[in-house]
Structure 1
Amino acid sequence: MNFTNTQDVISYLYSLPKFHEKADLSYIKRTLAALHNPQDKVKTVHVTGTNGKGSTCYYLSNLLQKAGQKTGLFVSPYVFEFNERIQLNGQNISDDRLIDLANQIEKVLSKIRQTEPDFALATFEYEVAMAFLYFAQEKCDFAVIEVGIGGEHDKTNVITPEVSIITTVGLDHEQIIGPTLEDIAREKSGIIKKNRPVVLGNIPEEVLQIILAKANDENAPVKLWNKNFRMETEQNKDMIYRDGNSTLSFTARPRVEGIDISVAVRAFKLFNLKLTDLQIERAINETVIPGRYQILATKPLIILDGAHNIQAMKNLLTFAHEQQQKRHGTIRILIMMMKDKDLTEVFALFKPTDRVMLTTIDYPRAAKEADFPPEVRGKYEYHSDWQKTYTQMRQASQANDILLVTGSFYLVGNILQMEEKNEDRKQH
């Protein structure tokens, strides 16, 4: 097979199986060995966590770039285009390089298939192989790698990182890495490596010991949020980071974003790279993370956030309700979710005063009306046309109101693209 355009590469990737029957790393390791183990040619940072891992990766990647490091970034999901998943110095991978990498991988896979005709990678494994190959060929100084799901059995867990990061542990993907919080903590602690430091974010007390025991077994030094470093957040004031050696100030954001920033800063400081306190503050304040607490407008306040599990939704709603108390307006929520998520639990988080609309997008896993629990359908209106519904909700919002778009990065991405087109039309 020889790819000639990006769409063919992406269509092919999504035609591959999602998972293997075995949850081991044998397929990805075999493929990377055939590619001369590109993952070992670059210094890496490995990031897992139920929430906050994407934000932490973006903040850390920006800090490394500002310190003059050629920095790779592998994150998911994408908001605008597939190429976002693999970045170099803040730029998405080009279509040409994507095609070239896929062809290089196809070449080694066809060799493997000469002796093992049924050998095939799952979608995410293929993406991981492309990312590591790209970062090695571009001679990155560092690559920041976000796991797909979990940790120990995740297909990115083929590296010995300079630093491991676990942002949070909560319930998500229970059917794959659960079912309990303890199971999820054990799985995520699998990215901790021998003699390599680990930075821990806001880990629930009941599972902290599991992670600390793993760090102890691996002789991995631990930096723990609220013990070795912390972020003090006061409403509408700057956030203050402290770690014993320095005090830094960042523009006000939701508390959870503050924790992600503090984790990224603490991990960055382990590298002893030359960046002044002022440069660190500037790098963080300049970082834009697509689809995460992204503010589109302030009158009304329009917030896009791809929160798609209990913990993320709880954090987002806490922030929105805090804002509501200050603005004395109405909260409107446009939500679309995947049908394999904890739909009942998520909808239990809304207040009776929140005006919620259900919608969907054209995507196989997207929940349609019948996929929502009966009590949710009985409570909230469902409109299949997300574009029309968003436009109506935006028009109905007064200057002091809040409009949230949430539940999935796919919906957030669609809204961002729609807003961008509207902006272009205004300018021409």
Structure 2
Amino acid sequence: MQTPMQPPKRQSEPQQQQRQQQARKQAEQHPASYPSVSTLDEFYAALYALPPRFNRAITTPRAVTAKLLQQLGHPERQCRSVVITGSKGKGSVALMLSAALQQAHARVGLFTSPHLFDYRERIRINGEMIPVDTLVNLGNCVFAAANQLTINHEDERPRFFEITTAIAYLYFAEQSVAMAVMETGIGAKTDAVNQSVHEVAILTHIEAEHLDIFGDMPTLIDEKCGVMRAHTPLILGAQQPVVVDAVKTIANQLSVDVCSVDRIDNVIDNAAINACPSAQSQAPSYQWPVEGCLLSAHSKIKARNMAIAVAALQALDIRMTQSVATTLSTLTLPAREEVVSEAPLIVIDSAHTAQSAANLAQFVMARRDALGLTGRLVMLVSFSATKNVYAAMEAFDKVANNPLNKAVKQIPEDISEVTSKAASNSSSQVVALQPPSMIATVIVTEATTTRSLSCELIVDALQGLQAHDTKSDAAGELSDGVTKRAAIERILSEADPEAALTLALSNLQSSDCLVITGSVYLAGWASAYYQARA
């Protein structure tokens, strides 16, 4: 047994709740003003005191930010930009594209959210976070501009994300970046980022999310399609048919040239070399040529995201070179399929939706098989209040415990395909999956004290997947003839993530696998710890 690893110290949130409460109290006393700040702590306290925007009935983040940017002299119009939206992969694509563009441009701005380790990583130029003094100064500029706005309703006041977006555009304009790679927050049509007439639009995979804001899938799809601009190229990630149909309709109306990832997928699949070992293990990788240069990725998801970034480069008339190909192929993305140990296998990922959980499970099981590991599967999870806990964990289980897992070559666009394939191939035979295929233990924690679901709520949401709660009909079988089984042997609860990680590592054998996932905040926290140990 490997010596248990020691847990990290729990990260504090921006000088924590006391200063935030003080700032909220000041805001209640002076609701019409944004403060003047002189330190980073004061800026964070003022920013985090702003209430979130959940209601878009009165106005939208885009409309509020447009007025704020106008007050600042339209910095968003002073640099070329690429805008990226979608449900999953948009952050990865943004990081890949900005890294590749640095090979061709002197200064490349990057705006992403949320942050993993430090708020300042949301705003970067050539990989370097915005300096503290600059952030405070520009924060003051944006606060001052916000104070000059005519406000007819409280919802028209700029909030956290709108202030942050304005700071990013102002910083990129002042630094004269050659290109700004801008990731949207929630949606596109009404999102704060979606301002200028960008040169390329990117729409990654869409799945059901933020329906508490947008209501239903047709509205969500329409919102995401709002990233399109007339005569502006669109790079389209893998989508369900209903999304493709909506995109085609709007693209025809706007005369948009659409480059679909389906074509890219065909290139990857035809050129994939599944026997090529990675640098760290014998896990399969994907390799394919682009303009005479060789690209490679350790997983199909990374290959897809990389291919989207390459398509965006081509739409920008950026020539592929071997240095760009090498940069993309070797780029490490923290908290995204991040392998920090191979014996035991420890994987960190911010997956929190059904499809992203299924993708993660496919990656984990492929790596696990390649390493020849036969031990237990343990999960350390935390979820934010808006995430569907049961759906994500059920989706992970359906792929991880799929009896046809080794035969599945591609990640399905709809996780329900896994269930249907298993059922159609069962021939009414009982599918009896024994440990270690079953998830042995799920340890539930709270990554942050303010943005995470309580352990009690997560545990309650997972009860239907636990062994002692398995339900079936009188025959003990599902309607399709497949015996229903529990996904999880046991669920443990530990609110403090330090103690939760200690618990996860305490009995972990070298043949076991630990997956840390469910929350960007938990994944970022764990990634920072292992980076500090490297």
Aligned to 1:11: 45
Contact 2:63 2:192 (8 Å CA) reproduced: no
In 1: Cα distance, 2:339 partner to 2:263 partner: 31
User: Which structure's CA Rg is the greater one?
Assistant: 2
Q: Distance in 2 between matches of 1:259 and 1:253?
A: 11
For the pair 1:169 / 2:213, whether they are aligned, the reply is no
Per the alignment, residue 226 of structure 1 pairs with 262
CA contact (8 A) 1:239 1:249 kept: no
Q: 1:133 aligns with which of 170, 186, 189?
A: 170
Deviation at 1:122, TM superposition (A): 1.4
The answer to whether structure 1 residue 215 and structure 2 residue 215 are counterparts is: no
- Contact 1:199-1:222 within 8 A present in 2 as well: yes
Counterparts in 2 of 1:236 and 1:331: CA distance versus 1, 3 Å:
farther
1:239 paired to 2:239: no
1:344 alignment counterpart: 390
TM-score of the two chains, using structure 1 as the length reference: 0.91
Q: Which residue of 2 aligns with 1:426?
A: none
Return the match for 1:70 from 107, 115, 122.
107
The equivalent residue for 1:380 is 491
Aligned twin of 1:291 = 335
Q: Which runs of 5+ in 2 are unaligned?
A: 1-34, 277-284, 402-436, 467-489
Describe the SS at the equivalent of 2:235: strand
Q: 262-271 or 386-395, which moves further after superposition? A: 386-395
Match of 2:510 in 1: 399
1:359 is the counterpart of 2:406: no
| Cα distance between partner residues in 2 of 1:216 and 1:103 | 43
Where in structure 2 are the equivalents of 1:301-316 lying within 5 Å?
301-316=345-360
Matched, 1:282 2:344: no
* Alpha-carbon separation, structure 1, partners of 2:275 and 2:520: 27
Equivalent pair of 1:291/1:306 in contact (CA under 8 Å)? yes
Question: How many Å apart are 1:3 and its aligned residue?
Answer: 1.1
Classify the secondary structure of the residue corresponding to 1:112. Answer: coil
Q: Distance in 2 between matches of 1:367 and 1:117?
A: 31
Distance 1:313 1:55 in 2: 16
Which residue pairs with 1:263 in the alignment? 308
Q: Which amino acid aligns with 2:309?
A: A
- Higher deviation after alignment, 204-213 or 161-170: 204-213
CA deviation vs aligned residue, 1:304-360 (integer Å, no higher than 9, x gap): 111111111111012112223332333221111013211221222324611321111
**1:299 positional shift:** 2.0
CA distance in 2, matches of 1:256, 1:15: 37
The answer to whether the 8 Å contact 2:459/2:491 transfers is no
Q: CA RMSD in A?
A: 2.1
Distance in 2 (alpha carbons) for counterparts of 1:338 and 1:262? 30
Query: Using a 3 Å threshold, how does the CA distance of structure 1 residues 179 and 384 change in structure 2: closer, same or farther?
Result: same
Task: Identify unmatched segments of 5+ residues in structure 1.
Answer: 424-428
For the residue of structure 2 that corresponds to 1:288, the secondary structure is: coil
1:411 to 2:522 alignment: yes
Q: In the alignment, residue 439 of structure 2 is paired with which amino acid? A: D
User: 1:163-186 deviations in whole A, cap 9, x for unaligned?
Assistant: 000011111112112422x33221
CA contact (8 A) 2:116 2:520 kept: yes
> What is the CA-CA distance between 1:270 and the residue it aligns to?
1.8
Q: Quote the residue 2:32 is aligned against.
A: none
Which moved further from structure 2: 326-335 or 208-217? Answer: 326-335
TM-score computed with the length of structure 2 as normaliser: 0.74
Contact 2:287–2:297 at 8 Å: present in 1 too?
no
Task: Kindly state the Cα deviation for residue 144 of structure 1 after the two structures are TM-superposed.
Answer: 0.3
Percentage of identical aligned residues: 24
Equivalenced residue count is 418
Q: Does 1:154 align with 2:191?
A: yes
CA displacement at 1:130 relative to structure 2: 0.4
CA distance in 2 between partners of 1:397 and 1:370 (Å): 25
Moved more, 308-317 or 227-236: 227-236
User: Offset of 1:195 from its aligned partner?
Assistant: 0.5
Q: Secondary structure at the match of 1:231?
A: helix
Does residue 386 of structure 2 align to residue 300 of structure 1? no
In structure 1, the partner of 2:140 is 103
- Alignment partners' CA distance in 2, 1:411 and 1:388: 13
Report the more deviating stretch, 253-262 or 317-326: 317-326
